[in-house]
Amino acid sequence: MNKLAKRFRGFLPIVVDIETAGFNPETNALLEIAVIFVDYEDGVLVPIETFHEHVIPEPGLILDQDALEFTKIVPDHPFRYAISEKEMLVRLQSRIEHHCEQLNCSRAVLVGHNGQFDLSFIQAALARQQLSMLLHKFLVFDTATLSAAFLRETVLARAVRKAGMPFDEAEAHGALYDATVTTDLFSELIKRADSLKR
Protein backbone atom coordinates (compact mmCIF):
# COMPACT_ATOMS: atom_id res chain seq x y z
CA MET A 1 0.00 0.00 0.00
CA ASN A 2 1.21 3.52 -0.80
CA LYS A 3 2.48 5.47 2.25
CA LEU A 4 -0.15 8.18 1.82
CA ALA A 5 -2.96 5.65 1.50
CA LYS A 6 -1.66 3.84 4.58
CA ARG A 7 -1.38 7.09 6.59
CA PHE A 8 -4.94 8.18 5.76
CA ARG A 9 -6.76 4.82 5.75
CA GLY A 10 -7.02 4.60 1.99
CA PHE A 11 -8.23 8.17 1.54
CA LEU A 12 -6.62 10.84 -0.64
CA PRO A 13 -6.48 14.20 1.16
CA ILE A 14 -7.01 17.08 -1.28
CA VAL A 15 -6.57 20.63 -0.03
CA VAL A 16 -9.40 22.82 -1.35
CA ASP A 17 -10.21 26.50 -1.21
CA ILE A 18 -13.07 28.17 -3.05
CA GLU A 19 -14.25 31.73 -3.54
CA THR A 20 -17.96 32.32 -3.82
CA ALA A 21 -20.52 35.06 -4.38
CA GLY A 22 -22.12 34.59 -0.97
CA PHE A 23 -22.60 32.06 1.81
CA ASN A 24 -25.50 29.92 0.55
CA PRO A 25 -24.36 26.96 -1.59
CA GLU A 26 -27.85 26.56 -3.06
CA THR A 27 -28.31 30.16 -4.23
CA ASN A 28 -24.85 31.78 -4.48
CA ALA A 29 -22.40 31.11 -7.30
CA LEU A 30 -19.07 29.34 -7.01
CA LEU A 31 -16.48 31.64 -8.67
CA GLU A 32 -13.02 30.14 -8.14
CA ILE A 33 -11.49 26.90 -6.91
CA ALA A 34 -7.98 25.74 -6.11
CA VAL A 35 -7.16 22.13 -5.23
CA ILE A 36 -3.72 20.92 -4.20
CA PHE A 37 -2.93 17.22 -4.44
CA VAL A 38 -0.30 15.85 -2.07
CA ASP A 39 1.80 12.76 -1.50
CA TYR A 40 3.42 11.56 1.73
CA GLU A 41 7.20 11.30 1.49
CA ASP A 42 9.51 10.64 4.45
CA GLY A 43 6.75 11.60 6.87
CA VAL A 44 6.03 14.91 5.12
CA LEU A 45 3.08 15.91 2.95
CA VAL A 46 4.42 17.21 -0.36
CA PRO A 47 2.37 19.03 -3.06
CA ILE A 48 2.42 17.13 -6.37
CA GLU A 49 -0.19 18.97 -8.47
CA THR A 50 -2.20 22.18 -8.33
CA PHE A 51 -5.64 22.43 -9.95
CA HIS A 52 -6.88 26.02 -10.27
CA GLU A 53 -9.86 27.32 -12.21
CA HIS A 54 -11.97 30.46 -12.36
CA VAL A 55 -15.63 29.56 -12.77
CA ILE A 56 -18.37 31.27 -14.78
CA PRO A 57 -21.27 32.01 -12.42
CA GLU A 58 -24.02 29.48 -13.00
CA PRO A 59 -27.05 31.22 -14.58
CA GLY A 60 -29.80 32.01 -12.08
CA LEU A 61 -27.54 32.06 -9.02
CA ILE A 62 -27.09 35.16 -6.88
CA LEU A 63 -23.96 37.33 -6.92
CA ASP A 64 -23.88 39.05 -3.55
CA GLN A 65 -22.20 42.45 -3.94
CA ASP A 66 -20.64 42.38 -0.46
CA ALA A 67 -19.02 39.01 -1.25
CA LEU A 68 -17.64 40.32 -4.56
CA GLU A 69 -16.16 43.38 -2.86
CA PHE A 70 -14.56 41.13 -0.23
CA THR A 71 -12.95 38.76 -2.77
CA LYS A 72 -12.33 41.52 -5.36
CA ILE A 73 -13.59 39.14 -8.07
CA VAL A 74 -15.15 40.69 -11.18
CA PRO A 75 -17.19 37.72 -12.51
CA ASP A 76 -17.40 38.90 -16.13
CA HIS A 77 -13.79 40.10 -16.44
CA PRO A 78 -12.41 38.64 -19.70
CA PHE A 79 -8.96 37.93 -18.24
CA ARG A 80 -10.39 35.54 -15.66
CA TYR A 81 -10.46 32.92 -18.46
CA ALA A 82 -13.27 31.25 -16.56
CA ILE A 83 -14.83 27.92 -17.49
CA SER A 84 -18.32 26.59 -16.78
CA GLU A 85 -19.15 25.01 -13.45
CA LYS A 86 -19.79 21.68 -15.20
CA GLU A 87 -16.47 21.71 -17.05
CA MET A 88 -14.62 22.53 -13.83
CA LEU A 89 -16.24 19.61 -12.02
CA VAL A 90 -15.51 17.18 -14.86
CA ARG A 91 -11.85 18.27 -14.96
CA LEU A 92 -11.51 18.01 -11.18
CA GLN A 93 -13.08 14.55 -11.12
CA SER A 94 -10.58 13.43 -13.76
CA ARG A 95 -7.64 14.61 -11.62
CA ILE A 96 -9.08 12.98 -8.49
CA GLU A 97 -9.51 9.67 -10.33
CA HIS A 98 -5.93 9.90 -11.64
CA HIS A 99 -4.39 10.52 -8.22
CA CYS A 100 -6.57 7.94 -6.47
CA GLU A 101 -5.34 5.37 -8.99
CA GLN A 102 -1.70 6.45 -8.71
CA LEU A 103 -1.71 6.50 -4.90
CA ASN A 104 -3.99 3.47 -4.33
CA CYS A 105 -6.74 5.47 -2.63
CA SER A 106 -10.45 4.66 -2.69
CA ARG A 107 -11.68 8.27 -2.74
CA ALA A 108 -10.65 11.82 -1.92
CA VAL A 109 -11.33 13.65 1.34
CA LEU A 110 -11.51 17.44 1.35
CA VAL A 111 -8.96 19.26 3.47
CA GLY A 112 -9.93 22.85 4.19
CA HIS A 113 -9.98 25.65 6.73
CA ASN A 114 -13.62 25.44 7.83
CA GLY A 115 -13.81 22.84 5.09
CA GLN A 116 -17.51 22.04 5.44
CA PHE A 117 -18.17 25.38 3.71
CA ASP A 118 -16.09 24.37 0.68
CA LEU A 119 -17.58 20.87 0.63
CA SER A 120 -21.15 22.23 0.72
CA PHE A 121 -20.54 24.37 -2.39
CA ILE A 122 -18.93 21.49 -4.29
CA GLN A 123 -21.81 19.17 -3.39
CA ALA A 124 -24.38 21.77 -4.45
CA ALA A 125 -22.57 22.24 -7.77
CA LEU A 126 -22.44 18.47 -8.34
CA ALA A 127 -26.19 18.24 -7.66
CA ARG A 128 -26.92 21.10 -10.08
CA GLN A 129 -24.88 19.48 -12.82
CA GLN A 130 -26.12 15.95 -12.01
CA LEU A 131 -22.55 14.70 -11.62
CA SER A 132 -20.78 12.50 -9.10
CA MET A 133 -17.26 12.70 -7.74
CA LEU A 134 -14.88 10.38 -5.88
CA LEU A 135 -15.09 12.73 -2.90
CA HIS A 136 -16.23 11.70 0.57
CA LYS A 137 -19.73 13.08 1.12
CA PHE A 138 -19.32 14.21 4.74
CA LEU A 139 -15.80 13.59 6.05
CA VAL A 140 -13.55 16.66 6.09
CA PHE A 141 -10.03 17.10 7.45
CA ASP A 142 -10.61 20.57 8.91
CA THR A 143 -7.46 22.60 9.55
CA ALA A 144 -9.43 25.03 11.74
CA THR A 145 -10.25 22.19 14.13
CA LEU A 146 -6.72 20.77 13.98
CA SER A 147 -5.27 24.25 14.55
CA ALA A 148 -7.45 24.69 17.63
CA ALA A 149 -6.12 21.39 18.99
CA PHE A 150 -2.42 21.88 18.19
CA LEU A 151 -1.97 25.66 18.05
CA ARG A 152 -4.87 27.09 20.09
CA GLU A 153 -5.86 29.16 17.07
CA THR A 154 -8.75 28.89 14.61
CA VAL A 155 -8.18 31.87 12.27
CA LEU A 156 -6.11 30.81 9.24
CA ALA A 157 -3.64 33.73 9.31
CA ARG A 158 -2.99 33.38 13.04
CA ALA A 159 -2.64 29.61 12.84
CA VAL A 160 -0.17 29.82 9.93
CA ARG A 161 1.94 32.39 11.76
CA LYS A 162 1.82 30.46 15.04
CA ALA A 163 3.04 27.41 13.13
CA GLY A 164 6.09 29.49 12.18
CA MET A 165 5.19 30.28 8.58
CA PRO A 166 4.55 33.62 6.83
CA PHE A 167 1.09 34.82 5.84
CA ASP A 168 0.54 37.65 3.34
CA GLU A 169 -2.71 39.52 4.08
CA ALA A 170 -2.55 41.17 0.63
CA GLU A 171 -2.72 37.75 -1.09
CA ALA A 172 -5.39 36.28 1.20
CA HIS A 173 -8.92 35.49 0.01
CA GLY A 174 -7.71 34.25 -3.34
CA ALA A 175 -8.37 30.53 -3.75
CA LEU A 176 -4.86 29.67 -4.94
CA TYR A 177 -3.03 31.50 -2.16
CA ASP A 178 -5.36 30.24 0.58
CA ALA A 179 -5.11 26.64 -0.68
CA THR A 180 -1.32 26.92 -0.75
CA VAL A 181 -0.99 28.18 2.82
CA THR A 182 -3.63 25.68 4.01
CA THR A 183 -1.53 22.90 2.44
CA ASP A 184 1.54 24.12 4.33
CA LEU A 185 -0.47 24.33 7.55
CA PHE A 186 -2.00 20.87 7.11
CA SER A 187 1.45 19.40 6.43
CA GLU A 188 2.80 20.98 9.62
CA LEU A 189 -0.16 19.79 11.69
CA ILE A 190 0.16 16.22 10.39
CA LYS A 191 3.88 16.32 11.17
CA ARG A 192 3.05 17.34 14.73
CA ALA A 193 0.41 14.63 15.02
CA ASP A 194 2.84 12.00 13.75
CA SER A 195 5.49 13.08 16.23
CA LEU A 196 3.15 12.15 19.09
CA LYS A 197 3.20 8.50 17.99
CA ARG A 198 6.96 8.16 18.46
Which pLDDT band holds residue 198 (cuts at 50, 70, 90)? low
CATH superfamily for domain 3-195: Ribonuclease H-like superfamily/Ribonuclease H (3.30.420.10)
Find out whether 173 is annotated in a ligand binding site. yes
Domain chopping of the chain, boundaries: 3-195
Find out whether 42 is annotated in a ligand binding site. no
Residue 102 has pLDDT above 90, yes or no: yes
Question: pLDDT tens, 23-49?
Answer: 999 999 999 999 999 999 988 999 999
**What's the average model confidence in pLDDT over 83-87?**
98
Q: What is the pTM of this model?
A: 0.96
DSSP codes of every residue in 133-194: -SEEEEEEEEHHHHHHHHHS--SHHHHHHHTT----TTTTTSHHHHHHHHHHHHHHHHHHHH
Average pLDDT, the chain: 96
- Give the rounded percent of residues in the chain with a pLDDT score beyond 70: 99
Find out whether 178 is annotated in a ligand binding site. yes
Catalytic pick among 54, 99, 136, 173: 173
Residue 163 has pLDDT above 90, yes or no: yes
Residue 7 has pLDDT above 70, yes or no: yes
Written as one letter, the residue type at 137 is K
Dihedral, CA of residue 167, residue 182, residue 118 and residue 58, to nearest 10: 60
Calpha distance 26→128 (Å, rounded) = 9
The number of beta carbons lying within 10 Å of the beta carbon of residue 196 is 7
Are the C-beta atoms of residues 115 and 143 closer than 8 Å to each other? yes
Secondary structure letter of residue 79 according to DSSP = G
Closest residue by Cα to residue 111 from 8, 2, 3, 5 = 8
Residue 99 appears among annotated catalytic residues? no
